[in-house]
Amino acid sequence: MTASGDVRLLVVRLSDSFGDFWPALARDIGAALADWTPAAGEPPASDAGVVLVAAGGREADVAALLPQLSVVAGIPIIVVGAVGSYRLAAQIVAAGAADYFSLPEDRDGLRDSLAAAVQRRQAALGRAALAHLEAQAHAFRDIVGESPVLRAALERAARVVPHRDATILVTGETGTGKELLARALHYGGPRAAAPFVELNCAALPGPLLESELFGHERGAFTDAKTAKPGLFEVAQGGTMFLDEVDSLAPELQGKLLRALDQKAARRLGGTATRQFDVRIVAATNADLAAAVQGGRFREDLFYRLNVVALELPPLRERGDDVILLAEAFLRKFSAQYQLPQPGLTPEVRRALVSHSWPGNVRELRNAIERSVLLSPPGAFELSGLTVMPARSGAASALPFPATLAEIQRAAARAMLAAAGGNRSEAARRLGISRSRLQRLLEGGASPDDTDADPN
């Protein structure tokens, strides 16, 4: 849509026949006018509402041209020629056009068809605008939490939301909500009415991943029975979310960098370069700067992706957010499974706060869902986590270890219990080696005992 709100009529000129007619036609149907000729290169990544192909004497070239107009897919393509032939009209429609008119005899029919197409487009844009406003209002509502570290990250994200072309790199541990933030960036911004397309770069081997990104033509490889558009084409006008971007093979890193720099890509087995208009949001739980230093990730691609860096904090650093999230998940899964919604007991709250949550929000979500399903009727009991006992009585009455060695041994035992008896996990959480954990448990480690290998 144009700045004034008009739907744009894109005239594709194969000939100059009836050239003086198009401006008047655009005014009659209430559309803004733009034009393009194949000699100008690839068709624009247009915001056109209707495409009109002015064939005038070159009707035989239309079928070959229509696939080039895929960048404006989803809107009607109407062909105008000088030959009034039903057979020709049928061939052109079969090739992908919405309709065919011959001039001058079908002038009124052409005008009526274009006017109807413009009205449908205006209605669709109106619905999209309403959806966009609603999405903006609720884009960040699913990100639960009030901790200062989370609010700081979200405030930084909010500043970049209005800028439709800014490339964003979201970092954070597994399960911190990187995809959720990517969706909020999309649906809260100016691209909300266009597609949000996600791709996990670690989920497919290199050749299949390349085909997913860039698409392929028929016969490009053994199983390519039909042509397939790439995700850059599918995401036209919207957002491409590249998760686990650190998993890209070096060769594919180079191809991605070239596509981002040129804002264009070529399908596997194809010769045509297709322009795209897509915002990139990439995500990783790895240290990309370290990967660059280690030669595992291209430095130029790192800088291309890291225009705006957003880091999500781990759940263990978010304080009482764990309680807010647990309550939100408890409401969600109680309603989903049509079960009573009990409250969180003080013991459960203590367990939630004391747990280190190495899997972050994803681990918490799974723990709450599992517990909702396994708890007895009318109660909520955490399943799979160790509930810390409630404190009672005076502090002097507590069984407190007398020496530093006893304190360390008690901490080791408590962490082992919290890790479900997994000694490697308990050692990881304590930041010590497995052998040192073993010595602590057996009482053979002194307070100043250190690890030769902290890993």
Phi/psi for 172 (5° steps) reads: 155, 160
What confidence score (pLDDT) does residue 47 get? 62
Longest distance between any two alpha carbons in the chain, whole Å: 102
What confidence score (pLDDT) does residue 308 get? 97
Q: What is the mean pLDDT of each run of 10 residues along the chain (455 residues)?
A: 61 81 88 80 66 83 74 72 80 83 86 85 71 63 91 93 94 96 92 92 89 86 81 93 96 96 90 90 96 96 97 95 95 91 90 93 94 86 60 37 62 74 81 82 61 46
Q: What number of other Cβ atoms are within 10 A of residue 453's Cβ?
A: 9
Closest CA to 194 of 274, 134, 279: 279
What confidence score (pLDDT) does residue 310 get? 97
3-class secondary structure, 13: strand
State whether the Cα torsion 200-205-206-212 is positive or negative: negative
Closest CA to 65 of 22, 15, 102: 15
Give dist(CA 393, CA 425) in Å, integer: 33
Q: In sequence order, what are the beta bridge partners of 36?
A: 12
Summarised one tens digit per residue, pLDDT across range 114-144 is 888 888 877 777 766 666 666 655 578 779 9
98's CB contacts (< 8 A; 6+ apart) are 76, 77, 78, 117
Closest CA to 59 of 83, 77, 90: 83
What confidence score (pLDDT) does residue 133 get? 62
CA of 12: how far to CAs of 49, 54, 77, 399, in Å?
Answer: 13, 6, 10, 84
pTM of the entire predicted model: 0.60
- Amino acid present at 285: N
What confidence score (pLDDT) does residue 312 get? 97
Phi/psi for 39 (5° steps) reads: -65, -15
What confidence score (pLDDT) does residue 437 get? 82
Give dist(CA 379, CA 388) in Å, integer: 18
Sheet holding 308-311, edge to edge: 196-200, 239-243, 279-284, 168-171, 308-311
Domains recognised in the chain with CATH numbers: 7-129 (3.40.50.2300), 144-311 (3.40.50.300), 316-391 (1.10.8.60), 401-442 (1.10.10)
3-class secondary structure, 315: helix
Give dist(CA 17, CA 82) in Å, integer: 9
What confidence score (pLDDT) does residue 386 get? 46
Give dist(CA 212, CA 240) in Å, integer: 12
What confidence score (pLDDT) does residue 1 get? 44
Cα angle 283, 156, 330; round to 5: 70
What confidence score (pLDDT) does residue 455 get? 43
Give dist(CA 125, CA 103) in Å, integer: 30
